[in-house]
Amino acid sequence: MRKFFDRHPFWSVIIFVVVAFFIWMVFAVWPEWLKDLIGRKKVFLNAVFNGITLGGLYFLVASGFTLIFGLMRNVNLAHGSLFLLGGYIGYWITSSTGYWLLAFPVAFIIVGALGVLLQIFVFRRMEGDDLKQTLVTIGISIVMADLMLWGVGGDFYNITPPQWLSGPVETFFVTGVKRSSGELIFMKYPIVRLVMFAAAVAIGVAMWVLLNKTQVGMLIRAGVDDREMLSATGARIQLVFVGVFAFGAGLAGLAGVVGGTFQTIAPGEDIRFLLASLVVVIVGGMGSITGAAIGALIIGLAEQIGSVYFPTYAVVLTFLIMVVVLAFRPQGLMGKTG
Amino acid sequence: MYKHLLATTSLVAMLGASAAYADGHSKPLKIGVLATLEGTYTVLGEDGVRGLRTALKGAGNKAGDRDIELIIQSTDASPDSAVRGARKLVEQDKVDFVIGPLSGSEGIALRDYAKTQPQTTIINGISGAQETTFVDPAPNFFRFNTDGAQWGVGLGQYVFEKKGWKTVATVAEDYSFAYTNFLGFAHGYCKAGGKIVERQWVPLGTKDFGSIIASLPDDVDAIYLGLGGGDAVNFLNQYQQAGGDANLIGGSIMVDGTVLSAKGDAKKALIGTPSSGPQADTWDNPKWQAYVKAYQDAFPPDQRFPSPSLLATGYYNATSAAIQCLNQVKGDLSDGHKAFRGCLSSLELDAPNGKIKLDGNRQAVGSNFVTEVVEKSDGTLANDMVAMVEGVTQTLGDDEAEFRKLGLPSRDIVKCD
């Protein structure tokens, strides 16, 4: 932090001012001129919250994707299908047992197990052959999409969260002042989205701890840096590969349950989320968990703020960000060069 | 990225093999079908195909003494996928004629494609953009369903007068059908004296409506929703989570069977929502009831909706019209479809959702229904009929010159704020 300030005093000040202004916008009661300029505070605050929570969902999908890529240099284009499968499993578990929470471990385990099979029977056979892997995973995703369409049909599945998670909750963010009584109006926000976001943060933190503070994490990080050298030291790298692939796939399945709860699950969602996680990891930097978190946050915020303030071009904004990042920092915000 | 090329090609089994005829047209008739069997409108396309199959089943898979062979081509609601699909059907499979497409912009694209293929005939499935037949129509493109604007007729007056909702805000998808459908509502609503204070247009395929829901004004009487398919379900789901409780008004595909039978509880937010469209699920007309029964009998309960959606009805009517005219010309299309097209132009179709005839642009003039969503005793949701308007023309009852002056459907037509 200190170093950054010493090197870029000008930019530091600008960033500081922008952040301060943003924080003020979130907490202050807006004056009239700002309301005239960009509309009601409720709208702005909701867009920010939605962007952050959507970013949480994107992070869950993209972190598995980036983890797999980082370790195995393996672009798994069937990742979206794993997400969709997780969503369907989640719907099935929730509607048949009535326990929404049970959907998460079950989806994680089943989809993770599928990941193990994929790693053992597909990827291990074509290690290091990027093009082959890419083509094979495209093929797998098409087959899986059709199998799922055949199995569950094209209906829209929406996982119903339990009663205590439905409806809005009052937060402590002020959106305005009542004209008549001068009372403060607080923002109401869907509780399910807040819980999902908290879960995404918890998973993110757990992953960071696992990667940076444990022996397994050390193995994985060493594998990311130099696979050959790690296997030469006698580490059982294939076992690490299987474990990471299972974990990444399981995360996609978990994200499917989250996605099915605050959006819907239907054919086509697989491609949408694959595309979203590709954009997220390109912006954040391939192979970096922190990068995935930052990328997911940026893309989520861009989508939501865009959809409110310039709806026609909201879709373009996401890709514009990707283009800018690729132009000025092709390795991604947190990516390593080389 | 890449696209799923899911081309569902199916052959209808030729049961009860008929003896071969000596003359030239004893070969099976090849009918190409375009339906959205992928993407956000998948379920809608599937039900369209069910409607078509119901009609074929009713005719014993025969028309004009010829067996019928179906080639079904999937599209994804985008115009280029529709043209690609039509190309394959017409130029590669050499079908006799095409039934489809389903979605608004697809219809406009196929009108233009039809002009390049004068030897074939296209009978619209259920696409409802106004321009398809209103602007520069193709001589070989026939539409037996009323368009999106016609589907809005009656709703504006109903919510203004009967419900007493004087101001509305709107959220609708940003493409031709939603504009057209909205125009039908706005035309009547503005005329009745209502005010449309805010319009939000969202891209087709929007999944996260959180911010849009938050920005809905809370000082209006009702909110008009012009969404469809997965977008509609997503909106309702998130609307409930956000604790929304405003009065809702539904566009025609917002409250359609495809949304009313989605899995999960989100759709319950729609109970009591007024809407309008070319059919009412609970209409007691015997012809309608017979059609509903035919649809229910044609498919096992887990492979269909409780009752046919308007998409099924659209494809059903298009197919019925084709079969009737094929019977009339005895299956003979060898005159370059001349007699066949003549028959289609002058046909008065006694459809389950009211009598339909075509105007000079080969566009349907038919009935429209104002409905309200009710929960039936078995827990399913349905559109209950509250009013019916007969003989709705494409100009919504206005003089044509006056109607054209309004402008083509777009974001700001009709204005009354």
Ramachandran area for residue A144 (φ above 0: left; ψ -120 to 50: alpha; else beta) = alpha
Give B-chain residues touching A268 at CB under 8 angstroms: 38-40, 42, 230
- Flag whether A306 is in a domain: no
- In angstroms, the separation between the Cα of residue A12 and the nearest Cα of chain B is 31
Token pair of A293, please?
A: 């978190």
- Flag whether B179 is in a domain: yes
The model's confidence at residue A182, banded by pLDDT at 50, 70 and 90, is confident
For tokens 């696209």, name the residue: B3
pLDDT recorded at residue B311: 93
Q: What integer is the mean pLDDT of A281-304?
A: 90
- Flag whether A56 is in a domain: yes
Q: What predicted TM-score, i.e. pTM, was given to this entire model?
A: 0.80
pLDDT recorded at residue B185: 94
The model's confidence at residue A297, banded by pLDDT at 50, 70 and 90, is very high
pLDDT recorded at residue B25: 52
- Flag whether B216 is in a domain: yes
Which amino acid, one-letter code, is at A259? G
Q: What is the CATH number of the domain that holds B176?
A: 3.40.50.2300
**Interface mutation vs chain B, best among A42, A58, A158, A262, most B CBs within 10 Å:** A158
- In angstroms, the separation between the Cα of residue B29 and the nearest Cα of chain A is 28
Can you state the angle between helices A100-121 and A79-97, rounded to 10 degrees? Answer: 150
Considering only CB atoms, B233 lies closest to which of A40, A156, A262, namely: A156
Q: Please check whether residue B260 is in contact with residue B376, taking contact to mean a CB–CB distance below 8 angstroms.
A: no
Question: Is there a single domain that holds both residue B174 and residue B251?
Answer: yes
Question: Is there a single domain that holds both residue B212 and residue B200?
Answer: yes
Question: Is there a single domain that holds both residue B272 and residue B390?
Answer: yes
pLDDT recorded at residue A3: 74
In sequence order, the 6+-apart residues with CB closer than 8 A to the CB of B113 are B83, B86, B87, B122
Nearest to A153 by CA among B145, B300, B297: B300
Q: Please check whether residue B152 is in contact with residue B252, taking contact to mean a CB–CB distance below 8 angstroms.
A: yes
Considering only CB atoms, B241 lies closest to which of A192, A268, A304, namely: A192
- Flag whether B396 is in a domain: yes
pLDDT recorded at residue A1: 60
The model's confidence at residue A252, banded by pLDDT at 50, 70 and 90, is very high
Contact state of A167 with B234 under an 8 Å Cβ cutoff: no
Reported residue count of chain B is 417
Question: Is there a single domain that holds both residue B157 and residue B220?
Answer: yes
Can you state the angle between helices A314-328 and A269-284, rounded to 10 degrees? Answer: 40
| Distance (Å, whole) CA A45 – CA A11 | 26
Give B-chain residues touching A272 at CB under 8 angstroms: 205, 207
Looking at the 3D structure of chain A, how many domains does it have?
1
Q: Is the pLDDT of residue A107 over 80?
A: yes
- Flag whether B11 is in a domain: no
Token pair of A101, please?
A: 């929470």
Which amino acid, one-letter code, is at B82? A
Regions of chain B short of the pLDDT cut 70: 1-26
Which amino acid, one-letter code, is at A234? G
Token pair of B308, please?
A: 């046919």
Question: Is there a single domain that holds both residue B190 and residue B307?
Answer: no
Q: What integer is the mean pLDDT of A97-109?
A: 93
pLDDT recorded at residue A337: 63
Question: Is there a single domain that holds both residue B242 and residue B178?
Answer: yes
Question: Is there a single domain that holds both residue B163 and residue B231?
Answer: yes
Question: Is there a single domain that holds both residue B393 and residue B251?
Answer: yes
| Distance (Å, whole) CA B199 – CA B212 | 11
Which stretches within B166-255 are classed as H helix?
Answer: 176-192, 210-214, 229-241
- Flag whether B414 is in a domain: no
- Flag whether A247 is in a domain: yes
- In angstroms, the separation between the Cα of residue B332 and the nearest Cα of chain A is 38
DSSP B253: T
Q: Which domain holds residue B47?
A: 24-146+285-366
Contact state of A315 with B212 under an 8 Å Cβ cutoff: no
Three-state DSSP class for residue B56: helix
Looking at the 3D structure of chain B, how many domains does it have?
2
Which amino acid, one-letter code, is at A100? W
Considering only CB atoms, B38 lies closest to which of A91, A267, A314, namely: A267
The model's pLDDT over A33-62, given as tens digits with 9 standing for 90+, comes to 877 777 778 888 888 988 999 999 999 999
**Pseudo-torsion of CA A264, A269, A273, A275, nearest 10°?**
-150
pLDDT recorded at residue A239: 87
Phi and psi at residue A85, in whole multiples of 5°? Answer: -60, -45
Q: What is the mean pLDDT of chain A?
A: 87
- Flag whether B43 is in a domain: yes
ipTM of the complex: 0.75
Q: What integer is the mean pLDDT of A232-252?
A: 89
- Flag whether A120 is in a domain: yes
Q: What integer is the mean pLDDT of A153-176?
A: 81
Nearest to B98 by CA among B106, B108, B90: B90
Q: Which domain holds residue A69?
A: 42-268
| Distance (Å, whole) CA B154 – CA B277 | 9
Give B-chain residues touching A271 at CB under 8 angstroms: 1, 4
| Per-residue buried b or exposed e for B174-191, using 16+ beta carbons within 10 Å of the residue's own CB | bbbbbbbbbbbbbbbbbe
Q: What integer is the mean pLDDT of A233-255?
A: 90
Contact state of A155 with B262 under an 8 Å Cβ cutoff: yes
Question: Is there a single domain that holds both residue B264 and residue B330?
Answer: no
Q: Is the pLDDT of residue A253 over 80?
A: yes
